[in-house]
């Protein structure tokens, strides 16, 4: 941001990228940022603990499935990522799913495992530092990052934020054409 001398930027993150937006604003502030958008967010903190009862149970099965058969894990993951049982054919094609699978399969095995670890980052200290208007978008049928554990909690933790829930939206709301009508709205 500094090197490029960006001013009045809008930071947009999807899924794990929402952690990057959150951490950036928490660490560096909003001097160069006008607004933020968090799409299918990971924050505030995904892991269920004594001080985070809204979180989800440990994600150990992801590690085990990746180690056992990484390509099969990707196939299972993308079925849930896109809600294939509901949206295949009408809102997502097999080819689009295969393209995502191809990208994932091209990632390193270590990177795939490290990805799971990053889901457990605690962003709760960063959220109160966000002081720009923030749009939070989440599907109510997200099977990867449950609405109640993530986005539904954020309006209380981020000042000047707005939560928009996409009815029937899967985790992949930014990739599903059926959800694109929302993005033509006047939210930004």
DSSP assignments along 7-54, one per residue:
-SEEEEEETHHHHHHHHHHHHH-STTEEEEEEES---S--B-BTTBTT
Q: Is the peptide bond before 44 cis (omega within 30 degrees of 0)?
A: yes
- Cα maximum dimension of the chain: 46
> Catalytic residue among 100, 138, 142, 161, which?
142
DSSP assignments along 115-127, one per residue:
HHHHTT---TTTG
Q: Token pair for residue 169? A: 């939206």
Q: Is 118 a catalytic residue?
A: no
Q: Is 108 a catalytic residue?
A: no
Q: Is 142 a catalytic residue?
A: yes
> Which residues partner with 139 through β-bridges?
166
> Catalytic residue among 15, 100, 149, 161, which?
15
> Catalytic residue among 100, 138, 161, 171, which?
171
Q: Coil, strand or helix: which one is 95?
A: helix
Cα 74 to Cα 158: distance, rounded to the nearest angstrom? 33
Residues recognised as catalytic = 15, 142, 171
């Amino acid at each position: 941001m500094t090197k490029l001398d960006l001013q009045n930027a809008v930071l947009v993150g999807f899924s794990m990228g929402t952690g990057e937006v959150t951490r950036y604003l928490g660490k560096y502030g909003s001097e160069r940022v006008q607004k933020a958008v968090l799409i299918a967010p990971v924050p505030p903190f995904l892991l269920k603990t004594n001080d985070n009862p809204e979180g989800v149970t440990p994600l150990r099965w992801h590690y085990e499935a990746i180690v056992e058969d990484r390509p099969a894990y990707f196939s299972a993951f993308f079925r849930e990522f896109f809600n294939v049982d509901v949206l295949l054919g009408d809102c997502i094609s097999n080819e689009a799913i295969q393209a995502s699978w191809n990208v994932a399969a091209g990632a390193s095995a270590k990177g795939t495992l490290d990805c799971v670890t990053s889901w457990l980052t605690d962003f709760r200290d960063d959220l109160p530092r966000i002081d720009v208007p923030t749009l939070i978008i989440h599907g109510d049928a997200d099977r990867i990052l449950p609405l109640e554990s993530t986005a539904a909690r954020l309006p209380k933790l981020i000042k000047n934020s707005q939560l928009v829930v996409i009815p029937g939206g899967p985790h992949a709301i930014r990739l599903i054409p059926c959800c694109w009508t929302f993005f033509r709205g006047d939210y930004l």
